[in-house]
Structure 1
Amino acid sequence: MTTLRWGILGASNFAANFMGPAIHAARGAELTALATSTANKAAPFEAFAPGLRVHDSYDALLADDQVDAVYIPLPNHLHVDWSLKALAAGKHVLCEKPMTLRADQFDALIAARDASGLLVAEAFMIVHHPQFVRAKELIAEGAIGQLRHVDAVFSYFNADQGNIRNQATAGGGGLPDIGVYTFGSVRYVTGQEPLSVPFAHIDYENGVDTFVQMAAKFLDFTYAAVISMRLFNRQEIVFHGDQGVLRVTCPFNAGVFDQAELCLESKVHSRVIERFPGVNHYVLQVEAFGASVRDGVPYACPLEFSKGTQVMMDMVFEAGGGPEG
């Protein structure tokens, strides 16, 4: 197996605690380089990746011919520009969500991908987790009959105004941060796209959304969600059919928030629970990315899929009005 050599643009805490170790642990992957202008921020990475080359600028890492792919965990408003720069430098790209802040920004990324022949994707790790693969199978095979309604919720409390999630200029807000999960997960499991967003209530603070309650209409089912950065931690998706209910517990931070589980209640199965202990979806994401680069294996989350999620977020923002709306 050819090893894919990775570099990381920026020494974020998330990269140090989750994605860096995942790249290091993944089969067929090696973390070889990091770009940070603050030398001491490299220490957590060097602890698990001895011999790591540390560059003092992002451009220097992109010029490193011993890097095949880059992972980009930069603030949201920098994702598109640095993804395009990495592609121009001949690197494959895995970029944190949301990859863009508007759906039309995906067009330049798709064009650059097609022109370069390189893989570029949003880091939407949950589609690589067996919890979601199984949920998709259960819905497709009619385990709950005809799907009629979906409820989704994702919340956490973060009122720190120094955090980039609370800064409008950095592309902050609850929808950009976690709306991608509540929307993208349901699109992935059902294979359907929203037809309309008839209702969206959005609370804003200093130009960023902090609470969203919304409703959408899909072809075969209705959808309701709550997304918030100002509520106690909670995450769950419930798929409600005419013959049963499928609950996806801990759907977004498996192994951190709680253990990933599926709970199926139906006329056929009174109550069946499937558990997925010890699964690291970040490692699976890196391995799937490598398999796609090396062997052409179709990637579960291509740019076209991620654009569809951003389309839905754009619809919600439009339905809810702006900070003064």
Structure 2
Amino acid sequence: MNIEDLTPGQESERRAGIGIIGCADIAVRRAIPAIRKSPFDLVAVASRSLAKAESVAAGTGCAAVEGYEALLRMPGVDAVYVPLPNSEHAEWARRALEAGKHVLIEKPAVQSAGTARGLVELAEERGLLVMENFAFLRHPQHDRAQDLLAEGAIGELRSFNGVFGIPPTDPNGIKYQAELGGGALWEVGCYPVRAAQEYLGEATEVLGAALEFDAKQGVDVSGVALLRDGAGVTANCSFGLSHSYRSTYDLWGSEGRLTLEWAFTPSRDARPVLRLEQRDRETRIIAPASDQFLGVFGAFHAAIRDASARPAHHRELVRQAGLMARIRTHAG
């Protein structure tokens, strides 16, 4: 029985079942603990290695499965989370949709608008949801920023400036492998680009973009993109894999500026600071602690239950993929 066929009475009796395709670190550290607190029932974890799947599944009460296709054939799996290398997202999202599963793809979901549209069309044909996991959007600090902007705390928005950089890690890791979809733009640049879209209008164009490549590693290790919407609001997005850690964005308006000091990857227990500057006054606003991964699985579950919530997620997936592809093309 597919989850979309459940009646309201049945929904209260049966938790939606979810499986995880791949045993990436993000799945182990953040996704599994969040799923176990969410409305989902964690049914299974799949890996190409049974031993690895068993190691990850140990202590969770879920099944360990060898092979991704085997998980897709399991009864009770209504949805899947796909934290595979970027280059494998499109294929396994498609296979999962064809198997009748709702799909949450770890960011960046796919690398072209055409691929994103293809997945959305398949999902809509089958009455399913496909969604990209930008967990940071589920942290309440971003809702507070939107509220302050709507209240006129900084006047009219003029520009967005977002920065996400991390120190170098293992050079043999996935993020440094071009054939697996690695590189700074896809790994960290997607964060400020996605955040900018919360504030810029639909008609966003790429004014400029540049990527710095490491010839030895064969991937881009830093970059910048300049965007502008139809109303003239601009966004400057900077990112890198060879930087001291920085995870922030600010909104500069006609009457002030609002800065989110830990915008993208706050820990579950952290209380991020929003700094509001207005003329000769500065106000520090402390956001509540929140598990943003629990928030994203809650949103995923809600959109599975409520089909009217799915089109917004589908539009966001296509828009992000298209904008990221245009940035990559502009950078050359």
**TM beyond 0.5:** yes
2:210 paired with 1:198: no
Once structures 1 and 2 are overlaid, which stretch shifts more, 226-235 or 126-135?
126-135
2:290 paired with 1:274: no
Instruction: Decide whether the 8 Å contact of 2:49 with 2:67 is kept in 1.
Output: no
Instruction: Decide whether the 8 Å contact of 2:116 with 2:321 is kept in 1.
Output: no
Q: Which residue of 2 aligns with 1:58?
A: 68
Change beyond 3 A, Cα 1:48–1:303: farther
Please state whether the residue corresponding to 1:158 is helix, strand or coil: coil
TM-score, normalised to structure 1, is: 0.91
Please state whether the residue corresponding to 1:117 is helix, strand or coil: coil
2:297 to 276, 280, 286: 286
Once structures 1 and 2 are overlaid, which stretch shifts more, 58-67 or 213-222?
213-222
Q: Which residue of 2 aligns with 1:153?
A: 163
Cα separation, 2, equivalents of 1:303 and 1:210: 29
Q: Which residue of 2 aligns with 1:104?
A: 114
Instruction: Decide whether the 8 Å contact of 2:247 with 2:261 is kept in 1.
Output: yes
Once structures 1 and 2 are overlaid, which stretch shifts more, 129-138 or 244-253?
129-138
1:196-228 C-alpha deviation (Å, 9 max, x unpaired): 333322111243211102322222322212110
2:272 to 235, 260, 281: 260
Instruction: Decide whether the 8 Å contact of 2:250 with 2:257 is kept in 1.
Output: yes
Please state whether the residue corresponding to 1:65 is helix, strand or coil: coil
Q: How many residues align?
A: 317
| Shift >4 Å, 4+ stretches | none
Cα separation, 1, equivalents of 2:227 and 2:169: 28
Q: Which residue of 2 aligns with 1:305?
A: 316
Change beyond 3 A, Cα 1:215–1:240: same
Q: Which residue of 1 aligns with 2:9?
A: none
Cα separation, 2, equivalents of 1:209 and 1:244: 34
Please state whether the residue corresponding to 2:309 is helix, strand or coil: coil
Please state whether the residue corresponding to 2:48 is helix, strand or coil: coil
Q: Which residue of 2 aligns with 1:7?
A: 19
Q: Which residue of 2 aligns with 1:176?
A: 186
Instruction: Decide whether the 8 Å contact of 1:200 with 1:214 is kept in 2.
Output: yes
Change beyond 3 A, Cα 1:249–1:122: same
TM-score, normalised to structure 2, is: 0.89
1:33 to 30, 35, 44: 44
| CA shift for structure 1 position 149 | 1.6
Alignment of 1:13-92 (within 5 A): 13-26=25-38, 28-43=39-54, 45-50=56-61, 52-92=62-102
| CA shift for structure 1 position 272 | 2.6
Once structures 1 and 2 are overlaid, which stretch shifts more, 77-86 or 122-131?
122-131
Cα separation, 1, equivalents of 2:137 and 2:152: 20
Instruction: Decide whether the 8 Å contact of 2:57 with 2:64 is kept in 1.
Output: no
Cα separation, 2, equivalents of 1:204 and 1:230: 11
2:248 paired with 1:239: no
| CA shift for structure 1 position 257 | 10
> What amino acid does structure 1 have at the position aligned with 2:75?
D
Instruction: Decide whether the 8 Å contact of 2:206 with 2:330 is kept in 1.
Output: yes
1:131-184 C-alpha deviation (Å, 9 max, x unpaired): 112212222332210111221100002253311110010011111112221011
| CA shift for structure 1 position 13 | 1.3
| CA shift for structure 1 position 314 | 1.9
2:331 paired with 1:320: yes
Cα separation, 1, equivalents of 2:189 and 2:319: 13
Instruction: Decide whether the 8 Å contact of 2:270 with 2:289 is kept in 1.
Output: no
Q: What root-mean-square deviation, in Å, do the aligned CA atoms of Structure 1 and Structure 2 show?
A: 2.1
Cα separation, 2, equivalents of 1:48 and 1:191: 44
Instruction: Decide whether the 8 Å contact of 1:236 with 1:247 is kept in 2.
Output: yes
2:233 to 211, 221, 238: 221
What runs of 5+ residues in structure 2 fail to find an aligned partner? Answer: 1-11
> What amino acid does structure 2 have at the position aligned with 1:182?
P
1:223-265 C-alpha deviation (Å, 9 max, x unpaired): 2121101111111101001111110121110127964222222
What runs of 5+ residues in structure 1 fail to find an aligned partner? Answer: none
Cα separation, 1, equivalents of 2:228 and 2:57: 48
